Chains A and B, each alone.
Chain A
Amino acid sequence: MGYEEKIMTIIVKSGEAKSCCMRAIGKARKGEYTDAEALIAEAEQCLREAHGIQTELLSGEADGKKHEVTMLMIHAQDHLMNTMTVKDLGSEIIAILKERQ
């Protein structure tokens, strides 16, 4: 996988994770908590994959393998951070809905 493909994978995995979280919240609204929690677990798996690539790039950089910081790379970082927030808040929203059922 080249540098650009790695960046795109961070975007795709973060994107898939975000979609899982949004679907999870939708399920929780309908009272389908088991499905909601399964989707959050799926989101976490996607995020682990995105995070794995980010770690690989970071440790590569520490070893002196410098990569060009492109707009796309910044955009990928944006996706990842955004999704992590969506996942944290999504999990809370699901927990609140479950408590109040």
Chain B
Amino acid sequence: MYNITLVCNLGLSTSMVVQKMQEAAKKLSIAAEIQAVPESNIAKVASKTNVILLGPQISYKLDEFKKKYEELGIKVAVVNGTDYAMMNGEKVLKFAIGLIER
């Protein structure tokens, strides 16, 4: 079971992407728990997540997130802007899994 967390300022647009990722996971029979959280709530889910994906609006915090979470064994990356805008759930899901498996 993969646990994937998407983070942005308010968690609104990320929740749209998460919905598409959940659909893709179901279609591909991949067991994954995927959630969108606003930046202020990240600490609550950090203990169980395998990967944190940042939305474009907080990509400038990548280094800060890496410093904080990579030492806990959590992979941190920024979601590709085009995949995010086109809400390509499958591509974002595969990107997240690729990071976990790396």
Contacts and interface: CB of A to CB of B under 8 A. Distances in A.
A9 B60 CA distance: 18
A72 B57 contact: no
B13 A16 contact: no
A19 B57 contact: yes
> Per DSSP, are chain B's interface residues mostly helix, strand or loop, or mixed?
helix
> Per DSSP, are chain A's interface residues mostly helix, strand or loop, or mixed?
helix
Contacts of B81: 12-13, 15-16
Determine the interface band of chain A, counting residues with CB < 8 A from chain B.
20 to 34
A16 B87 CA distance: 16
Interface string B67-89: 00000000000000110111100
Contacts of A13: 81, 85
B86 A22 contact: no
Determine the interface band of chain B, counting residues with CB < 8 A from chain A.
10 to 19
A8 interface: yes
Given A11-B13, A72-B12, A72-B13, A5 B85 contact: yes
B7 to A, nearest CB: 12
B80 to A, nearest CB: 10
A20 B13 CA distance: 19
Nearest to A20: B60
